């Protein structure tokens, strides 16, 4: 299975959730576009305990910590959707997007268009800050309106029972997991969360 990880915003916790899912499935990991350093690939690699996962190089490793379309412009690069090909692997693959789902990669296409291009389903990461109900439901409505395959939502960070309840009630897709706030993010904490996950995926 290949899964595309996107989010309601830039700091929602895609890399942490990706790390947990890589450990859970003992999957490979790939970030097609990296903007700025440190590399998320190195971050995920440092959090993984299993020896099966393979970490594939980015298609674009850009130095500017900005939206992919602007980072590419700064470096004189044209990012084209058709340039992206999924790494060859017989393993599960977790693909991490850049920023939120509508972050542009060029003047025509957005990060979420990569998931459509790859023909793989999406997991939406949502953290529960003030305004996140609106951002989460708008993101889900967009995915539904574009007929994008969505496996479900993963809540990440500090819990907010009221927000979780209303999102779950209104979401057209299931809530797959709730990742608690972690005081320390390391191999041990990621492995502990992964070992306690119970995710059933229906493509």
Q: Give catalytic residue positions.
A: 31
CA 33 to CA 31: how far, in whole Å? 6
DSSP-assigned letters across all residues of 125-142: EEE--TTHHHHHHHHHHH
Closest CA to 17 of 143, 133, 122: 122
d(CA 126, CA 5): 11
Residue 90 tokens read as 């017989």
**How crowded is residue 51: how many other Cβ atoms within 10 Å of its Cβ?**
6
Do residues 172 and 162 make contact, with C-beta atoms less than 8 angstroms apart? no
Phi, psi of 61 (to 5 degrees): -110, 100
């Amino acid at each position: 299975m290949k899964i595309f990880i996107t989010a309601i915003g830039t700091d929602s916790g895609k890399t942490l959730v990706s790390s947990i899912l890589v450990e859970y499935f003992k999957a490979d990991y790939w970030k097609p576009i990296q903007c700025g350093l440190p590399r998320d690939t190195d971050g995920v690699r440092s959090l993984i305990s299993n020896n099966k996962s393979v970490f594939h190089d980015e298609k674009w490793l850009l130095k500017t910590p900005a939206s992919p379309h602007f980072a590419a412009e700064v470096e004189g690069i044209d990012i084209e959707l058709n340039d992206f090909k999924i790494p060859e692997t017989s393993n599960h693959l977790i693909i991490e997007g850049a920023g939120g789902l509508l972050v542009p990669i060029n003047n025509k296409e957005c990060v979420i268009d990569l998931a459509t291009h790859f023909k793989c389903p999406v997991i939406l990461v949502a953290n529960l800050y003030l305004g996140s109900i609106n951002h989460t439901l708008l993101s889900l409505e967009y995915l539904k309106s574009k007929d994008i395959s969505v496996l479900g939502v993963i809540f990440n960070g500090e819990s907010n029972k009221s927000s979780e309840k209303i999102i779950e009630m209104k979401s057209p897709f299931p809530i797959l997991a709730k990742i608690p706030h972690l005081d320390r993010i390391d191999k041990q904490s990621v492995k502990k969360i992964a070992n306690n996950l119970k995710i059933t995926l229906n493509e």
